């Protein structure tokens, strides 16, 4: 098994609470919800005592005497909290959710308490003043980012304002968690029973089998369709029955809203409260809006720059998107509604390019795709990935993989949890289980969670992926490589940590491009029956279809980014938040299709109301510019070119937040990024 840390003695007390055992990977077979509060209470109390002792030491503080120990404390707290946060997302257990909600206020209070500790801030400032000229860029970045974060957390505030900021952070954490839970509950509660097989015309066999199995488990006839993403996607893309598509669309866009099935899951109040709290917190620390506050940790310089960037993308994309929309409308022969677009785009691709998602799926069994993806990483970065079945996991579908240099040197490891199930949070993401730490002679290697929601395995153990699923898997694995290949020793700036949020998607979106390479896909494909790899003829059709709807999709992402940013930039506390009004204005500006009045996109927009993308959803497009331009370097040199891959690893993947992102990018590319490759990838001629 991968050794993550130097050997240490484990006391009887630590063994009695498995969350406190950080000498190995999380003991998922032993961890229970009742362990959470005692573990968090103990580690918070210990850290308060340790911090007080650190700040009482005579002599000038330095990296080794202060910064290293503080980073170590935060690292250990992260190790204990990570399994808790993770399990409440993937298990759908009320007990885990309650344990998470109970511990969150204490954890939030502790984090704010440290961030507002004036003695600690002054000690860090003294460390910064006395840094020797030969100090590493990682040391400088760790201290500089900490000093910035002290300010953003209100360390400079008077006592009453500081207490208010702390209270805001606690309430905000709880409200955001409530938002996410209401979306999940609304999704889990909805299902549609179908007894007439004709209504299911067009649905893939895998979706039909699962729906029949779900109905059988409920001891009812016919099929039971759930509101998880694989089922939603299958219906919207393949269901011939327009009424069925509309029913699913309505259920999806009203989750967590006043238009949903139960007022119990309405997120309207949560949204209003989240926006109010964010705005108040930003004002307290000197920012006019939360959008301005958000940009303090990003590459973008101003709200005007972000808005201009999004509108520039829209201007470039509009003409092509309008052409796509007209062509699709003419092909469908109807006035397209939102629940028609995915279906008719799929029909259009089949007609124009003789290709369908269902046909492609036969070539992408999940195990083959994973094997090919790992082979790609090995080829690019000279690493090996191997499964370790002895590691404890939280579900029978979960796998654990070790990552090593080809020399055998351990780099880290990660879990995969790839299939949808009831109660599991929707979407795809990676998260940190253990961050890399190399301080004062101690080394801990990074470990992560890679989570998706693909169609579950059938009775034969087979799960077939759409090409969109393949792209998603490559995307998340790009994040994982960023987490695993870091060489930075300070946990706060290792891997993804400390990287500006509008650059953190660079490695993930960069990896997506490999999912459009024939040489890569032949190694990621094997027909479910014949075992043959994806034929060149079929790949060419797939590649030809790549641009179909691409500009339309670009406008959709601009819509989401512009909505998010305007909502936070234009918020004022003297009137109710213009949640739906702003959405209507943004759609009037950039959307090519009219949405029904019941559409409540914001109420399940977890990225911005429960995740880390508040006033930052534009980051996806910002980073896409970087990613497309970076991949162009591989196209120029050959996509498997070792020199280019090693330069990307060295200048981008290894440096974490230890270096200015633009400087790192220029070191890789030799120049600043250009928008042209992104437009070209999407078949868009610059305006």
**Stretch 471-493: mean pLDDT, rounded?**
98
For the beta carbon of residue 133, count every other beta carbon within 10 angstroms.
Answer: 4
| Catalytic (active site) residue 476 | yes
* pLDDT over 60 at 650, yes or no: yes
On whether residue 616 sits in a domain, the answer given is no
Name the percent of the chain lying above pLDDT 90: 94
Query: What residues make up the domain containing 217?
Result: 190-262
pLDDT at position 4 is: 34
Inter-residue contact 355 to 555 (CB < 8 Å): no
**369-389 confidence digits (pLDDT tens):** 999 999 999 999 999 999 999
* pLDDT over 90 at 431, yes or no: yes
Mean pLDDT of the chain: 95
129 and 203 belong to one structural domain:
no
- What would the DSSP string read from start to end of 530-578? T-PPPPHHHHHHHHHGGGTTHHHHHHHHHHHHHHHHHHHHS--TTS---
150 and 200 belong to one structural domain:
no
**37-61 confidence digits (pLDDT tens):** 999 999 999 999 999 999 999 999 9
pLDDT at position 335 is: 94
48 and 179 belong to one structural domain:
yes
180 and 196 belong to one structural domain:
no
On whether residue 662 sits in a domain, the answer given is no
**Stretch 296-309: mean pLDDT, rounded?**
95
> d(Cα 454, Cα 421) in Å, to the nearest integer?
9
* Cα distances (angstroms) measured from residue 678 to each of 92, 554, 629, 686: 38, 10, 7, 10
84 and 177 belong to one structural domain:
yes
Q: Which residues pair with 439 in a beta bridge?
A: 442
On whether residue 670 sits in a domain, the answer given is no
* pLDDT over 60 at 3, yes or no: no
206 and 117 belong to one structural domain:
no
Residues near 600 by beta carbon (within 8 Å), at least 6 away in sequence: 253, 254, 255, 256, 257, 258, 259, 260, 580
pLDDT at position 186 is: 96
**Stretch 242-246: mean pLDDT, rounded?**
98
pTM for the structure as a whole: 0.90
**Stretch 420-431: mean pLDDT, rounded?**
93
Confidence of residue 356 (pLDDT cuts 50, 70, 90): confident
Q: Which of 241, 262, 283 is the last residue of a domain?
A: 262
Q: Which of 159, 184, 209 is the last residue of a domain?
A: 184
201 and 176 belong to one structural domain:
no
For residue 91, give the CATH number of its domain.
Answer: 1.10.1370.40
138 and 198 belong to one structural domain:
no
On whether residue 356 sits in a domain, the answer given is no
On whether residue 386 sits in a domain, the answer given is no
Confidence of residue 569 (pLDDT cuts 50, 70, 90): very high
Q: Which of 247, 262, 277 is the last residue of a domain?
A: 262
pLDDT at position 13 is: 43
pLDDT at position 22 is: 93
Q: Which residues pair with 226 in a beta bridge?
A: 191
On whether residue 639 sits in a domain, the answer given is no
- What would the DSSP string read from start to end of 213-263? HHHHHTT-SSEEEE-SHHHHHHHHHH---HHHHHHHHHHHHTTTSTTSS-G
> Residue 137 is encoded by which pair of tokens?
């860029």
pLDDT at position 358 is: 87
* pLDDT over 70 at 525, yes or no: yes
136 and 164 belong to one structural domain:
yes
Give the total number of structural domains in the chain: 2
241 and 161 belong to one structural domain:
no
pLDDT at position 422 is: 87
pLDDT at position 15 is: 53
Exactly one of 476, 559, 624, 654 is catalytic; which is it?
476
pLDDT at position 92 is: 84
* pLDDT over 80 at 14, yes or no: no
Residues near 144 by beta carbon (within 8 Å), at least 6 away in sequence: 128
On whether residue 387 sits in a domain, the answer given is no
> d(Cα 345, Cα 328) in Å, to the nearest integer?
7
252 and 167 belong to one structural domain:
no
Inter-residue contact 293 to 152 (CB < 8 Å): yes
pLDDT at position 685 is: 87
pLDDT at position 265 is: 97
pLDDT at position 426 is: 87
Confidence of residue 2 (pLDDT cuts 50, 70, 90): very low
* pLDDT over 80 at 197, yes or no: yes
On whether residue 374 sits in a domain, the answer given is no
> Residue 585 is encoded by which pair of tokens?
């204005």
32 and 135 belong to one structural domain:
yes
Q: Could you tell me which of 491, 456, 503 has the C-alpha nearest to residue 661? A: 503
* pLDDT over 50 at 6, yes or no: no
* pLDDT over 50 at 534, yes or no: yes
């Amino acid at each position: 098994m991968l050794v993550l840390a130097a050997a240490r003695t484990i006391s009887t007390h630590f063994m009695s609470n498995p969350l406190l055992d950080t000498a190995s990977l999380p003991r998922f077979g032993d961890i229970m919800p009742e362990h959470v509060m005692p573990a968090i209470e103990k580690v918070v109390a210990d850290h308060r005592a340790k911090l007080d002792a650190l700040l009482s030491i005579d002599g000038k503080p330095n990296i080794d005497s202060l910064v290293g120990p503080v980073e170590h404390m935060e690292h250990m707290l992260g190790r204990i909290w990570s399994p808790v946060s993770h399990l409440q997302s993937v298990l759908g257990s009320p007990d885990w959710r309650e344990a998470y909600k109970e511990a969150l206020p204490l954890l939030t209070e502790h984090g704010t308490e440290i961030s507002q500790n004036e003695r600690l801030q002054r000690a860090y400032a003294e460390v910064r003043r006395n840094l020797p000229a030969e100090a590493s860029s990682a040391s400088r970045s760790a201290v500089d980012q900490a000093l910035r974060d002290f300010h953003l957390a209100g360390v400079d505030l008077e006592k009453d304002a500081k207490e208010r900021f702390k209270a805001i952070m606690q309430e905000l954490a709880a409200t955001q968690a409530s938002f996410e839970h209401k979306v999940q509950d609304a999704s889990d509660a909805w299902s549609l029973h179908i007894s007439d097989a004709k209504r299911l015309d067009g649905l893939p066999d895998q979706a039909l089998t699962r729906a029949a199995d779900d109905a059988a488990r409920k001891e009812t006839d016919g099929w039971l369709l759930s509101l998880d993403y694989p089922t939603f996607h299958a219906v919207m893309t393949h269901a011939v029955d327009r009424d069925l598509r509309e029913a699913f669309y309505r259920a999806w866009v009203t989750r967590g809203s006043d238009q949903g099935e139960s007022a119990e899951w309405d997120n309207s109040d949560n949204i209003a409260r989240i926006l109010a709290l964010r705005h108040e917190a930003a004002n307290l620390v000197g920012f006019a809006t939360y959008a301005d506050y958000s940009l303090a940790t990003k590459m973008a310089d101003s709200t005007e720059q972000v808005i201009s960037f999004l509108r520039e993308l829209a201007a470039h994309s509009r003409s092509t998107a309008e052409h796509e929309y007209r062509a699709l409308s003419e092909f469908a022969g109807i006035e397209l509604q939102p629940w028609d677009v995915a279906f008719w785009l799929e029909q259009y691709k089949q007609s124009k390019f003789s290709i369908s998602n269902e046909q492609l799926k036969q070539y992408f069994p999940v195990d083959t795709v994973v094997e090919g993806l790992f082979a790609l990483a090995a080829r690019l970065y000279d690493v090996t990935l191997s499964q370790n079945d002895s590691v404890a996991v939280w579900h029978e579908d979960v796998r654990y993989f070790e990552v090593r240099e080809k020399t055998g040197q351990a780099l880290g490891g990660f879990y995969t949890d790839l299939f949808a199930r009831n109660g599991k949070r929707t979407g795809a993401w990676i998260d940190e289980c253990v961050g890399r730490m190399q301080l004062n002679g101690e080394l801990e290697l990074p470990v992560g969670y890679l989570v998706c929601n693909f169609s579950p395995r059938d009775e034969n153990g087979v799960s077939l992926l759409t090409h969109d699923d393949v792209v998603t898997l490559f995307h998340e694995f790009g994040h994982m490589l960023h987490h695993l290949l870091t060489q930075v020793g300070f946990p706060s700036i290792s891997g993804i940590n400390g990287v500006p949020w509008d650059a953190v998607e660079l490695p993930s979106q960069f990896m997506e491009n490999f999912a459009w390479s024939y040489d890569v896909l032949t190694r990621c494909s094997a027909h479910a029956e014949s075992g043959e790899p994806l034929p060149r003829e079929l790949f060419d059709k797939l590649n030809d279809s790549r641009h179909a709807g691409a500009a339309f999709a670009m406008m959709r992402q601009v819509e989401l980014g512009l909505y998010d940013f305007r909502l936070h930039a234009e918020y004022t506390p003297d009137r109710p938040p213009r949640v739906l009004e702003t959405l209507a204005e943004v759609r009037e500006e950039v959307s090519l299709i009219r949405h029904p009045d019941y559409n409540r996109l914001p109420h399940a927009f977890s990225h911005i109301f429960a995740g880390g993308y508040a006033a930052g959803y534009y980051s996806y497009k910002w980073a896409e510019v970087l990613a497309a331009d970076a991949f162009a370097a591989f196209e120029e040199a050959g996509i498997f070119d070792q020199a280019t891959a090693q330069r990307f690893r060295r200048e981008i993947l290894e440096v974490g937040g230890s270096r200015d992102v633009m400087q790192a990018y220029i070191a890789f590319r030799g120049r600043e990024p250009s928008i042209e490759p992104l437009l070209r990838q999407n078949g868009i001629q610059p305006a």
